[in-house]
Amino acid sequence: MGDPKGFMKYSRKDAGYRPVEERIQDFGEVEQTLDTDERIKQNARCMDCGIPFCNWHCSLGNLIPEFQDFVSKGDWRSAYDILSYTCNFPEFTGRICPALCEHSCVLARFNESVTIRENEVAIAERAFFEGYVKPKPPAVRTGKKVAVVGSGPAGLCVADDLNKLGHTVTLFEKDDAVGGLLRYGIPDFKLNKFVIDRRMAILIKEGLIIKTNTLVGKDIPAKQLLADFDAVCICTGAMQPRDLIIEGRDLRGIHFAMDFLTQQNRINKGAAIPAAELISAKNKNVLILGGGDTGADCVGTSNRQGAKSITQVEIMPKPPDNRTENNPWPYYAYVLKTSSSHLEGCNRLWSLSTKRFIGEGGNVKQAEMVEVNWTKDKDGKMIMSEVPGKTLRIDADLVLLALGFVHPVHKGLLDDLGVKYNQRGNILLNITYQSNVPKVFAAGDSACGASLVLKAMADGKKAAKAMHNYLMEDK
């Protein structure tokens, strides 16, 4: 390690965010950066543990002590080489990963984990700035043709890995630009879309074929897809949103969170949205149902649009501020998460279930809530019960449903291909990521259900390896 006593000399120092009053006026990235000397010190805090729990908890298996060691010695190029060995796009994960690795860092036992996520993005940005990231097209092509449907995190990893292995890969995207939810789901204040475009320019020079504005299953029928390609990987994500079927759901002003976030990202890109289709929080009482990251993204976007008030409601109990006895280190810490968006202003409520929406003139005006208790049965399953007499009404001119996603969209491509689904409605796969249709593989949320960008990327890399083995078999 660069400094065996680095963790004793230097305290954890986060880069922090731009001032609230400044950042809510635009959609620029909110996170700041440390200067080079300070970043080297933060890397030097890594203890190079005998058992690197950070590596164990990283879905991609990043060699975290190794790349931090190189930075602490000032060798940024070697750090990037080590990081990019396991992670295709560290400039993405370094910005939006929930940093599972930091939860299992030995120093997290004292709430002083190494700033691994920030260190990662610093390495990636240094690599681009100094020109380490260059196109490396394969020397030989295999003659095999692969279609990857969906250009989110999983699809990008599948396409990148298979292209580097010499297969001719075509990446299909239904929208006008590559990225999936990276592009049109995650707000620009967390991930500037230039970061995606910069990487895409590299992949195109490496020979990756990209076709946007192409809805596979409609523009290209399923039968044609199977006829034209030696293998197909479905990476369309779990895009069927979870709805809330209660009284008043048909009132105007109630929208899925992803529709709201996607629209704002399109506006940032220069799109003109017809007034009748515009979902705006300006001067409105905004109610966000769902306490996860998507809900937090809605908070930040609503603040930037000029909301009158913002309330975020979660049906589960409020998490503790610190680990409980049944949630020990090095496992993920189930504690209260406060994002940069929350710090910009909102009212957060827990243990509330929505009973009905109340309208006026066809528009939503309030939501009626009931307080709930959570207990466990003999098998440890969480059981919810309403608290009698504990109801309240929340003013709401705009309701955003951030309740997650249930499974991929079946109608269209998936049904036309004839793939089977598991009990959760996701694509059913064997251990080699292959569906019941021999040529058809899947990765990411379409197979595993909605999860983290990091896990989708890791799943994509595993699927790519399995597909390569399939393509290189003697048939």
Has residue 170 been placed in a domain? yes
Has residue 135 been placed in a domain? no
Has residue 136 been placed in a domain? no
The predicted pLDDT at position 378 comes to 87
Question: Residue 59's domain spans which residues?
Answer: 6-17+30-130
* Strand 382-395 with 405-407, pairing: unpaired
Separation of alpha carbons 348 and 318, rounded Å: 9
Judgement on whether residues 253 and 384 belong to the same structural domain of the protein: yes
Judgement on whether residues 87 and 222 belong to the same structural domain of the protein: no
- Give the domain-ending residue among 401, 426, 450: 401
Judgement on whether residues 202 and 249 belong to the same structural domain of the protein: no
Judgement on whether residues 205 and 323 belong to the same structural domain of the protein: no
Cis previous bond, 274, omega within 30: no
Separation of alpha carbons 167 and 146, rounded Å: 7
Q: Name residue 288's beta-bridge partners.
A: 312, 400
As given in the structure block, the two tokens for residue 283 are 């001067």
Q: What are phi and psi of 331, to 5 degrees?
A: -70, 165
Judgement on whether residues 308 and 423 belong to the same structural domain of the protein: no
The predicted pLDDT at position 111 comes to 86
Give the torsion sign (CA, 228, 229, 230, 235): negative
Separation of alpha carbons 440 and 467, rounded Å: 9
Local structure of residue 450 (DSSP, 8 states): S
Least Cα distance to 83 among 95, 68, 96 occurs for 68
Three-state secondary structure call for residue 41: helix
Q: Which residues of the chain have pLDDT under 70?
A: 1-2, 474-475
Separation of alpha carbons 370 and 320, rounded Å: 22
Has residue 338 been placed in a domain? yes
Has residue 200 been placed in a domain? yes
- Give the domain-ending residue among 98, 130, 162: 130
Judgement on whether residues 289 and 312 belong to the same structural domain of the protein: yes
Has residue 286 been placed in a domain? yes
Number of domains comprising the chain? 3
CATH of the domain at 95: 1.10.1060.10
Separation of alpha carbons 117 and 21, rounded Å: 25
Has residue 22 been placed in a domain? no
Judgement on whether residues 327 and 412 belong to the same structural domain of the protein: no
The predicted pLDDT at position 474 comes to 66
Q: What is the mean pLDDT of the chain?
A: 96
- Give the domain-ending residue among 384, 401, 418: 401
Judgement on whether residues 204 and 330 belong to the same structural domain of the protein: no
Three-state secondary structure call for residue 36: helix
As given in the structure block, the two tokens for residue 62 are 């990043």
Helical H segments across 376-419, by residue range: 413-417
Judgement on whether residues 252 and 396 belong to the same structural domain of the protein: yes
Has residue 423 been placed in a domain? yes
Q: Measured over all CA atoms, what is the biggest interatomic distance in the chain, rounded to whole angstroms?
A: 71
Judgement on whether residues 377 and 264 belong to the same structural domain of the protein: yes
b/e map of 155-188 (b: 16 or more CB within 10 Å)? bbbbbbbbbbbbbbbbbbbbbebbbbbbbbbbbb
Judgement on whether residues 254 and 346 belong to the same structural domain of the protein: yes
Judgement on whether residues 291 and 388 belong to the same structural domain of the protein: yes
CATH of the domain at 186: 3.50.50.60
Give the torsion sign (CA, 446, 449, 452, 456): negative
Separation of alpha carbons 75 and 127, rounded Å: 11
